[in-house]
Amino acid sequence: MANSAATGRRRADEREVIRLLAAEMIVEHEALAAGMAAYLHELIPELGDAELELIDETTASCDSNIVQILTLLEHEAGAESLIMPLEASAFVRGLVRRGIALAVVLRSYRLGHQWLWEIWSERLHARLDDAGTLAATLEASSSFLFQYVDRMADGLVEEYGAERDRLVRSAVAVRSETVRDVLAGDLLDEEVASRRLGYELRRHHVALRLSADPGVGEGLTGLERAAEEATSALGPGQPLIVPTGAAIVRVWWSGREEPREDRLLALERYVAPEGVRVAIGRPGFGIEGFRRSSEEANEAARIGTLGADGGEGVVSYRSVELTSLLAADFDRARRFVRHELGELAGTDESTGRLRETVLTFLSRGASNVRAARALHVHQNTIVYRVNRAEELLGRPVTERQPELICALTLVAVLGEPVLRP
């Protein structure tokens, strides 16, 4: 019984010492906060050269935490009673807006904990002569502070993530709205649009449109990665990527100089991830080029979806521009093909080879030699196939040659869908 009573008195003494010291120190909270803030800015490089506003925000956050810690200790309340101080939330949000990492936030609390603990423990040593009481008081105080910082860390992580999400959503919304205004012709001021987009419009642009079926691959994340991979063929630089749907992104690459032909070819040879469709516009300059290249990418995507493969892989507008014009009305294009080709519109493999041969032959000046070289076959094979095609057509291939080339081009690009009745 005597031991129990002594233990009870010792614990009461410990609580009283903690309570009195907390009450004493809370009077100094402003000076303590200034000292802690200076310590943090000295030890954390990301905060060291900050503007005065951030120093004020750090000081306010330190002050709110110090006051709360000392108040809880004075009233013998546990760390579970803490709330996230408004000033602490403001400090975290300010760091997010400045692009400072979450790790810096957490480190500031660890260092602040260390700084306050050194002062607290020093004053406890000055107050207590009894080693047992000192040890017990230090242990109780330390336990409280660790619990406080641990609980605060959970709240800080949540606050940081929420603010970052808000900023991302806000930035995406501004970019999306600006892109819509530029493409619609409602925003013509290049300087204003560039500032809103964070992307310089007074440059050369190449637009892309990437899409995938919903639920395929990694969604927008996968499309954005593919966009960065594809545009890297054009040269260095961060592309402007704007999601326009659950599985569609618009993309623009920009450069001070118009991209070289070899870089455009490298982009067109990009191997897209499975299930991803990539459509590419031609280069264009300034806000008008930004808009036109995007329109062409959209049209290339449309032509891709008309084809037999549904637009899988990469489609470049400059390779399908004629088809785009010819297939503006797809039903009429299909009737045109059937009318021009007649029996040469068959869907079997051998008739397909005849069409390929005739198109190659005509596009190379009706030269058997050049056509044979392009198709890697003997000249006699070209002669035979052209003759056979003329039998199916019922006329020489040089008759109505422009119409025949257009019909064959439609089939070459769009495949079987344009051959259907």
- Note the pLDDT tens digit of each residue in 336-387: 999 999 999 999 999 999 999 999 999 999 999 999 999 999 999 999 999 9
Q: Output the pLDDT for position 46.
A: 87
pLDDT tens column, 254-265: 999 999 999 999
Nearest CA-CA partner of 76 in 140, 33, 127: 140
pLDDT tens column, 326-335: 999 999 999 9
Nearest CA-CA partner of 89 in 170, 166, 187: 166
Q: Which residues of 291-312 are buried (b: 16+ CB within 10 A; e: fewer)?
A: bbbbebbbbbbbbbebbeeebb
Please tell me which residue, 128 or 388, carries the higher pLDDT value: 388
Residues 6+ apart with CB under 8 A from 388: 354
- Helices 29-43 and 2-26: crossing angle in degrees, nearest 10, is 80
| Length of the chain in terms of residues written | 421
Please tell me which residue, 244 or 392, carries the higher pLDDT value: 392
Nearest CA-CA partner of 217 in 249, 240, 241, 242: 249
Q: Output the pLDDT for position 1.
A: 45
pTM, two decimals, is 0.62
- Whole-number mean pLDDT of the chain? 90
Structure tokens at 17: 């010492």
Q: Which residues of 189-223 are buried (b: 16+ CB within 10 A; e: fewer)?
A: ebeebbebbebbbebbbbbbbbbbeeeebeebebb
Q: Output the pLDDT for position 2.
A: 44
Q: How many CB atoms lie within 10 A of CB 320?
A: 24
Structure tokens at 413: 């690009």
Please tell me which residue, 279 or 16, carries the higher pLDDT value: 279
Cα angle, residue 290 at apex, residues 288 and 291 outer, rounded to 5°: 65
Asked if residue 34 has pLDDT above 50, the reply is: yes
Q: Which residue segments constitute the domains of the chain, with CATH numbers given?
A: 2-167 (1.10.490), 202-324 (3.30.70.600), 327-419 (1.10.10.2840)
Nearest CA-CA partner of 134 in 17, 279, 264: 17
Q: Output the pLDDT for position 173.
A: 82
Asked if residue 157 has pLDDT above 90, the reply is: yes
In a 10 Å sphere around its CB, with 0-12 CB exposed, 13-18 middle and 19+ buried, how is residue 330 labelled? Answer: middle
Task: Specify the range with the lowest mean pLDDT, choosing from 2-6, 99-103, 136-140.
Answer: 2-6
pLDDT, average across residues 104-109: 95
Residues 6+ apart with CB under 8 A from 162: none
pLDDT, average across residues 394-418: 94
Structure tokens at 234: 């054009």
Please tell me which residue, 3 or 141, carries the higher pLDDT value: 141
Asked if residue 253 has pLDDT above 90, the reply is: yes
- Using a pLDDT cut of 90, give the percent of the chain over it: 73
Please tell me which residue, 168 or 30, carries the higher pLDDT value: 30
Q: CA-CA-CA-CA torsion for 126, 129, 135, 136, nearest 10 degrees?
A: -100
Please tell me which residue, 98 or 68, carries the higher pLDDT value: 68
Q: How far is C-alpha 96 from the chain's CA centre? A: 17
pLDDT, average across residues 202-225: 84
Nearest CA-CA partner of 44 in 114, 93, 97, 117: 114
Q: Output the pLDDT for position 3.
A: 52
pLDDT-derived band at 130, boundaries 50, 70, 90: confident
Nearest CA-CA partner of 301 in 326, 283, 328, 280: 280
